[in-house]
Amino acid sequence: MAEKRYLFTPGPTPVPPQVLAAMAEPVVHHRSPDFRPVYERCLTRLREVCRTQSDVLLFTASGTGAFESAVVNLVTPGDPHLVVSAGSFGERWAAMTSLYGADVDHLRYAWGEKPDADDVRSRLAAREAKAVWIVHSETSTGVVADIQAIAAVAKEAGALVVVDAVSSLGAVPCEMDAWGLDVVVSGSQKALMTPPGLGLAAVSDAAFARRGSLPRFYFDWERTRDAQRKLDAPFTPAVSLVAGLDVALGLLLAEGLEQAFERHVRLGRAARAGAKAMGLDLFSPDEDSSAVVTAIHAPEGIDAGDIISAVRKRFGMTLAGGQGDLKGKIFRIGHIGWFDVFDVTTALAAIELVLDELGAPVERGVAVTAALNAYEHTPVA
Ligand code: PLP
């Protein structure tokens, strides 16, 4: 049989066939009537998904590029900023803001901890900050932060709030306007069900008004905002990806954001129930907020990398490993975007089989049964 591949990572994620089909259409010119309606609809849909009236600026870049746009537009060297980190991506933003000359107060948690609004309040009371930079879903650990509470604290202190929503947008609630978020950054390749290559930054008027003095060109917000408002992209956009993203956003909105959020809660429950039924310990919190990716400790004496490579070699399935110090210790099952419960049970069934081979026997089917029960029988509050 022809090889079948499965992608169970928290980005890139599987892409629905309708999206792939849209991307296979002939390439159109970005300043022609063939593209403008697609561009307009895609930008409108992005505002709906971010739940904002503000402009959502679309860049041909991965999520890190969109995040860098926030840094180069907001930082003036020497400005005080507060970066909150509890994993790989938060640390990336601390490094990036420092590199561009921000005077960074780094509220650094151990990987896997959940940032706390009271800690942010104390740090802001001790030292003012122009902006608080925070990761919503820390993909490296599976922890989803309460950015609503943290944004409220930042607002009290007069700071802007910049949110990395790369793996959360479209999977868990992220209410830009209602929660007072100033910048929401994301990428196409996660819950937005599109291949990698597009980054977005939704920018509030307050953030736009407080732009800093760093030089910038490609990522200059004003250049992209003014051009987008005329549906005339400043640079050649990845037209085929925009066509794909437009279809993917249409699918997400047709499902309904609330329904999508509920589905992700259930997928998280299913993955956790399956892992626990196999006797494995969870690394990500055992709670409904863990709806993006489930991080699981490898059993004592087994390297997580061996589980990942066995699943890959035997079944063509890609799981994610641990990053940094967690490499070899945890493995992660992504469940954002175009995922249903059978994706989760497929991943769990493969893990059951390879654990057995690696010397950690598991009764066959326990994980799958527990996952299906958790998905179906536990009502979402
Ligand atoms: N932030 C988070 C939370 C992520 O999960 C990722 C991607 O894995 C990034 C940032 C970086 O995005 P990209 O790889 O698209 O540059």
pLDDT per residue as tens digits for the range 156-203 = 999 999 999 999 999 999 999 999 999 999 999 999 999 999 999 999
Burial category of 47 from C-beta neighbours within 10 Å (exposed 0-12, middle 13-18, buried 19 and up): middle
Residue 151 CA to ligand 1 centre (angstroms) = 21
Cβ of 135 less than 6 Å from ligand 1: yes
User: Which numbered atom of ligand 1 lies nearest the CA of 62?
Assistant: 15
| pLDDT at position 380 over 80 | no
Quick check: helix, strand or coil at residue 299? coil
pLDDT at residue 215, rounded to an integer: 98
Among 60, 64, 188, 292, the mutation site with the greatest number of ligand 1 atoms within 8 A of its Cβ is: 64
The per-residue pLDDT for 3 is 85
Tokens of residue 59, six digits? 């860049």
Tokens in use for 371? 């996952």
- The average pLDDT across 220-233 equals 98
Cα–Cα distance, 294 to 191 (Å, whole number): 15
Question: C-alpha angle 239/242/248, rounded to 5°?
Answer: 150
pLDDT score, position 183: 98
Cα distances from 26 to residues 35, 232, 254, in angstroms, run 11, 20, 25
> Among 178-187, 202-211, 355-364, where is mean pLDDT lowest?
355-364
Percentage above 70 pLDDT, the chain: 99
Pocket residue to mutate for ligand 1, from 85, 89, 141, 245, most atoms within 8 A of Cβ: 89
Structure-token pair, residue 209: 């008004």
Pairing mode, strands 293-297 and 160-164: unpaired
What is the torsional sign of CA 284, 344, 89, 73?
A: negative
Is the per-residue pLDDT at 76 higher than 90?
Answer: yes
CA of 345 to the centre of ligand 1 (A): 25
Band of residue 9 on the pLDDT scale cut at 50, 70, 90: very high
**pLDDT score, position 379:** 67
Give the number of the atom of ligand 1 that is nearest the alpha carbon of residue 165. 3
CB 357 within 8 A of CB 280: no
Give the number of the atom of ligand 1 that is nearest the alpha carbon of residue 196.
15
Say yes or no: CB of residue 93 within 6 Å of ligand 1.
no
Q: In whole numbers, what is the pLDDT of the chain averaged over residues?
A: 97
The response to whether residue 195 sits with its C-beta less than 6 Å from ligand 1 reads no
11 lines ligand 1 (CB under 6 A): yes
Question: Does residue 376 carry a pLDDT above 70?
Answer: yes
Question: CB of 89 closer than 6 A to ligand 1?
Answer: yes
Residue type present at position 210 = R
Index of the ligand 1 atom closest to the CA of residue 65: 16
Q: Which residues of 312-348 are buried (b: 16+ CB within 10 A; e: fewer)?
A: beebebbbbbbbeebeeebbbbbbbbbbebebbbebb
**Is there an atom of ligand 1 within 6 Å of 194 CB?**
no
Identify the residue whose C-alpha is closest to ligand 1 atom 13.
63
Ligand 1 centroid vs 63 CA: distance in angstroms? 5
Which candidate, 137, 145, 224, 142, places its Cα nearest to that of 187?
137
Q: Looking at residues 63-76, what average pLDDT do you find?
A: 98
Helix axes 341-357, 366-377, angle to 10 degrees: 160
Query: 34: CA distance to ligand 1 center in Å?
Result: 31
Closest by CA to 371, choosing from 272, 285, 296, is 272
Question: What are the pLDDT digits (tens) for 283-326?
Answer: 999 999 999 999 999 999 999 999 999 999 999 999 999 999 99
Please state, in angstroms and rounded to a whole number, the distance separating the CA atoms of residues 114 and 109.
8
Closest CA to 153 of 164, 145, 161: 161
| CB of 63 sitting under 6 A from ligand 1 | yes
Residue 119 and residue 106 in contact, taking contact as beta carbons nearer than 8 Å: no
3-state helix, strand, coil in the chain (%, to 5): 45, 15, 40
Q: CA angle 158-159-164, nearest 5°?
A: 150
64 Cβ inside 6 Å of ligand 1: yes
Distance (angstroms) between ligand 1 centre and the Cα of 65 equals 10
Q: Please name which of 140, 121, 137, 138 lies closest in space to residue 129, comparing C-alpha atoms.
A: 121
166 lines ligand 1 (CB under 6 A): yes
Both tokens of 61, joined, read 């870049």
Which pLDDT score is estimated for 154?
Answer: 98
Question: What pLDDT shows up at residue 381?
Answer: 64
C-alpha pair distances (Å), 178 with each of 173, 175, 190, 259: 11, 5, 23, 19
**What token pair was written down for 269?**
């429950």
Question: How far does the centroid of ligand 1 lie from the alpha carbon of residue 360, in Å?
Answer: 32
Structure tokens at 177: 């306007």
Give the pLDDT confidence of 228-276 residue by residue, as tens digits. Answer: 999 999 999 999 999 999 999 999 999 999 999 999 999 999 999 999 9
- Percentage of the residues of the chain whose pLDDT score is greater than 90: 97
187 lines ligand 1 (CB under 6 A): yes
**Closest ligand 1 atom to Cα of 187:** 15
Predicted confidence at residue 1, as pLDDT, reads 80
Beta bridge partners of 85: 108
Rounded-to-integer distance, Cα 83 and Cα 133, Å: 5
What are the tokens at 283? 């690394």
Check pocket membership of 59 for ligand 1, CB cut-off 6 A.
no
Q: Does residue 188's CB lie within 6 angstroms of at least one atom of ligand 1?
A: no
CA of 89 to the centre of ligand 1 (A): 7
Using CA atoms, how far apart are residues 111 and 257, in angstroms rounded to an integer?
Answer: 29
Contact 347, 320 (CB under 8 A): no
Contacts of 294 (CB under 8 A, 6+ apart): 142, 268, 271, 272, 275, 282, 284, 332, 333, 335
